[in-house]
Structure 1
Amino acid sequence: MLLNTLCCHSSVVLLSAIACVSGLVLLWGYDSQNDEAKETERILFMMSFSYWLVYCVAFGMQKITLPGWETLIPPLKITTALAYLLTFSCILSLPLHKFAVNKIEE
């Protein structure tokens, strides 16, 4: 049962990494037409995708077991935790930014 759960989680992380890359590609070509609020929103989305991609890569590297990589595991775990927290903060900042922009317009 634990092996199935781990395999399912790894598959979801792999799919989300692919989704992050496609999201970054879509956002890279987006032109905001000199609108500062839209540009800030685009940057927050790009940061969210980038941080989550770092999480996915660090998670995937933890699963690779090569001889002599035991010293690399603690920094990878720290990177995974920091990327997770930074992703959460960027996602939390998106509605707060929209709320602030709407408050300024009123």
Structure 2
Amino acid sequence: RYPETFDNEFDAEEFVKLRETYAISLTEACVVVGHEWVLEMVGADLAKCSQKASSGSFKWNEIEGNLFMLTTVAPRAPAGEDTVIPNMLNLLPSLPYPTSGPGALLLRAGAGRLVHYTA
């Protein structure tokens, strides 16, 4: 996950490289455990984030981490055969988004990458 607050010690370039490595590993893991299992885990965690948000203990970086996983795994799901992705797409608008700062940008960019799965 991204840190909740950014400081001078945060190296965005290193983090992007780490994310690329995670994406490759996650894609390979889908071959072993199946994309369905990963999507179900992401869906369950997003539902927990939604519950936390309604109680006021919201952390934007938890949602962003799940969006990263979702956009990495979703292309492996056959179009129209998956039930988890539509449920998550319905859940996303109910999640709180920061109104400014890096969290606002990263969450909106993550949600924007999901436009491919709305048709």
| TM, length-normalised to structure 1 | 0.35
- Pair member with larger Rg: 1
Higher helix share: 1
Question: What is the TM-score normalised by the length of structure 2?
Answer: 0.32
